[in-house]
Every structure is written in C-alpha cells, then in structure tokens.
Amino acid sequence: MKFLRENGGGVCAPLGFKAAGIHCGIRKNKDKKDFALIVSDVSCAAAGVFTQNLVKGAPVVVTKRNIADGVAQAVICNSGNANTCNRDGEKVAEEMCALVADVSGIASSDVIVASTGVIGLPLDIAPMAEHIGELYSSLGKNSDCAAEAIMTTDTVPKSVAVEFELGGKLCRIGAIAKGVGMICPNMATTLIFITTDVNISSAMLQKALSDDVKTSFNMVSIDGDQSTNDTCCILANGLAGNDEICAAGHDYSAFKRALHYCTVKLSKMIAKDGEGATKLIECNVRGAKSAKMARSVARSVIKSSLVKAAMFGADANWGRVLCAIGYAGEPVDVDKIDVNFRSAEGILPVCENGRGVAFDEEFAKAVLSRDEVEINIDLKLGVNKASAWGCDLTYDYVKINGDYRT
C-alpha cells in the first residue's frame, strides 16, 4: 500500500459522501453548531463499536439495532444533550432517524444516530424537526461544519483523511471525532464517524474496526471516566471500485494500515485537546512479554492522576511512573525497568534497572515543559510494544467540570 497524501477533506474525502453542520437551537449559544448530518450517495457496509458502560445512551441502543444487519447510509448527531437516562430516549433517537428518512428517502433503519452533551436532560425533538430541512439542504463538502457540530467542550474540531491505493484503485478514508472529557480506555472513548469508499464486506469492516480500536481509541485516557455514549462507526460505500475485500489478505492488511493511521492520528488529537490540557502525553512501552502486557502497562501509566499532575507541573517524578507500572496487574520485573522522558527539548533518562539515575533538574523542567512529552518504558522482558495517549491534569479541568451543566 502506498499513501499518496493526507488531505483535509475529512468525512467528505471519500467518493460519494456529503456532510453538514448547523445550529438548530439545542445549545443556547447561537454561535455553536449543534446538529450534524453525514450522508452517502449509496448504501454502505457499516460497522461500529460502542461504550461498555452499563448505562448506555438511547442513541447507542438504537444505532446498534440499526446496524445489526451491517448496512447504513447516513449519520445524524446532535450536541448539547446526551439523550441518556430519559424515559422517552429511544423514541427521540428513533425520531431523529425518521427525520433523515423524511428528507432523504433513506430508510430510518439505515441511519446511525448519536448524541453528546449533558446526561439526564430530556432531548426535545422540536428544534431538530424544525431545522432538518436546512441541515439536509446544507449537505456538501462540509466535513468541517459537521466536525464543529458534534463538539462539546472541545476547543478544536478533529478530522483526518488519507488517500491510498488498493489493486491500482485510488481509495480514501476520512473521519471526524469529538471528545475531551469522560474518556478512559474501554472501547471507543468518544464519538468518531469514519467514511471510506473502499469496497469491503460488512463482516471484514467490523473485524478491522474491532481490532483497530484495541491499539488506538482504547489507548486514550483523559480523566478515567467512561462515557455513556461512546460510539465509533464506519461506513464503506465501495465507490472506489476496488475488488471487494471479503477475507484477510494483502488488500485487507493495506486497508487496516490506512485505517490505523487515521485512528491513531485522531487518538492523539483527542488526547491533546483533553479538558483543560496544556500538553499531549504519549506513553511508549517496549520489551513486554505479550501485547497484552504492553497495552496494560501503557494504559496504567497514562491513566494515573499523579503522573498527569506531575506532567502539568513539569516535575520529573518518575517514581509515579514506576508505581503505575506496578499496579498494572502484569508480572513485570521491577529490577529490569528503564524509563526516560523525551520531548523536542531532548531525552532525559530517569530510571535504569528499576533504580533512579542522577539528572539535571533544570534540563528536566525544560524537557517536561514542552507541549508534547513522551514517557518511554523498556520492560526488557520480550519484543512486544504498545503506545497510549493522554494529557496533563490541570486546574482548568476542575473548573470546566465543576459547572459543566451551566
């Protein structure tokens, strides 16, 4: 597989996809878009992964039901209200799907529905019903508008798109995402909508997505809280014209690499934009006995509130890293562990064979004061590796979540 280029088309980069995002009135601020739509010209293979929280938003329940047959053609999403823990939640989610059906002719059962925002408040269908015509008429190459419309406390929209070749055919994958809080490894962590014009069966699409999130979105942690509405869905309309991918092989592997490029890029964007964050933290683990061990250790470190707080203060408190490794639930050998911190400022070794090494505090401060910092761990037990992403824990995180509803 050859990457030709990364482009800025987002979910509209693949052939046959259009998107829109407008303000319909769910959010009080009229300058904030809150209603998004993504539509394919033709029916798509569909796949999804969802929150593992036992408290699930109504849109998650409806979407899982709608894509059970592996087919969908549109995505509708609102921000400002999660439509979770409401008596009529499923009814409203189904009504949102029906709105798409009314204006587009797409079957309501072929619509993916999602909501994000405050939990426990009834979601009024009226503003969406009033503005669905405007939303549908706005469809075009407007991925950026859709990306803005699904944001909550995000400070920037998140999107990516790539082009690559399969069997001599130019193929594309595009995606948008939201998520800066209530994010913890255990499924998808946020709302992610992915489009592709690759011709692939729904079974192989589901396999690719389910495998991918284990080393992408499942490796992100902002605050240790798992959302009720986590949804990651992908639509594949086949318009690239490649031979259908129905089994593992060269084309399937190439598709997975392109997909993983997009999901990792979005994972880093989500982590860097964590609520109140000032820096992206990447924890890289190598030398693990198994892939599971590598992932468990990386996630344990990236989830640690004490590690996050130390990163905020640019404090090279490497003992907190060792502590998080120790409670990861994996049989590591403490006497073999090496740790260093790295940024654009340079590399700072802090631990060798489980023991501290002398370092210059001023240089350490400089390394950790950058807006992107790596925590690199070598377990020296095997050949497996993994990466996880998070952010620092700041005063602003508490401020944002202290009055989230207002």
User: Do the Cβ atoms of 258 and 160 come closer than 8 Å?
Assistant: no
Residue whose entry in the numeric block shows the structure tokens 């998650």: 60
Q: Determine the pLDDT at residue 183.
A: 45
Q: Determine the pLDDT at residue 1.
A: 54
Q: How confident is the model at residue 218 (pLDDT cuts 50, 70, 90)?
A: confident
Lowest mean pLDDT, pick from 34-43, 90-99, 263-272 = 263-272
> Rounded CA gap, 66 and 288, in Å?
40
Q: What is the mean pLDDT of residues 231-241?
A: 96
Dihedral in degrees, nearest 10, Cα atoms 43, 148, 150, 3: 50
Answer whether residue 148 shows pLDDT above 90: yes
* Boundary (domain end) residue, out of 238, 272, 306: 272
* Segment (H or E) for 137: helix 126-137
User: Are residues 296 and 386 part of one domain?
Assistant: yes
Q: Determine the pLDDT at residue 69.
A: 98
User: Are residues 379 and 263 part of one domain?
Assistant: no
User: Are residues 258 and 381 part of one domain?
Assistant: no
Q: How confident is the model at residue 403 (pLDDT cuts 50, 70, 90)?
A: low
User: Are residues 80 and 224 part of one domain?
Assistant: yes
Residue type, 142: N
User: Are residues 153 and 15 part of one domain?
Assistant: yes
> Which candidate, 302, 292, 164, places its Cα nearest to that of 221?
302
CATH of the domain at 136: 3.60.70.12
> Rounded CA gap, 272 and 332, in Å?
29
Answer whether residue 4 shows pLDDT above 90: no
Q: Which of 84, 152, 189, 215 is catalytic?
A: 189
Q: How confident is the model at residue 16 (pLDDT cuts 50, 70, 90)?
A: very high
Q: What is the mean pLDDT of residues 150-166?
A: 91
Answer whether residue 182 shows pLDDT above 50: no
User: Are residues 336 and 230 part of one domain?
Assistant: no
Residue whose entry in the numeric block shows the structure tokens 């260093």: 340
Q: How confident is the model at residue 185 (pLDDT cuts 50, 70, 90)?
A: very low
Q: Is 294 helix (H, G, I), strand (E, B) or coil?
A: helix
User: Are residues 266 and 310 part of one domain?
Assistant: no
Overall size of the chain counted in residues: 406
pLDDT tens per residue, range 68-81: 999 999 999 999 99
Q: How many domains does the chain have?
A: 2
Q: Which residue has the higher pLDDT, 393 or 16?
A: 16
Pairing relationship of beta strands 220-221 and 384-391 according to DSSP bridges:
parallel
Q: Determine the pLDDT at residue 405.
A: 54
Angle formed by the axes of helices 305-312 and 318-326, nearest 10°? 160
Q: Which two tokens stand for residue 29?
A: 């601020």
Please give the DSSP secondary-structure letter assigned to residue 123: P
Q: Which two tokens stand for residue 140?
A: 């075009």
pLDDT tens per residue, range 272-321: 887 777 899 999 999 999 999 999 999 999 999 999 999 999 999 999 99
> Rounded CA gap, 389 and 404, in Å?
24
Q: What is the mean pLDDT of residues 380-390?
A: 96
> Which candidate, 148, 99, 89, places its Cα nearest to that of 124?
89
Q: Determine the pLDDT at residue 55.
A: 78
pLDDT tens per residue, range 246-258: 999 999 999 999 9
User: Are residues 304 and 163 part of one domain?
Assistant: no
Residue 170 belongs to what domain range?
Answer: 3-272
User: Are residues 262 and 305 part of one domain?
Assistant: no
Q: Determine the pLDDT at residue 229.
A: 57
Q: What is the mean pLDDT of residues 31-57?
A: 92
CATH of the domain at 288: 3.10.20.340
Pairing relationship of beta strands 372-378 and 280-288 according to DSSP bridges:
parallel
- Residue 200: strand pairing partners: 245
Annotated active-site residue 189? The verdict is yes
User: Are residues 217 and 188 part of one domain?
Assistant: yes
Q: Determine the pLDDT at residue 281.
A: 94
What separation in angstroms does the CA of 251 have from each of 141, 195, 212, 258? 28, 17, 16, 11
Q: Determine the pLDDT at residue 187.
A: 41
User: Are residues 230 and 110 part of one domain?
Assistant: yes
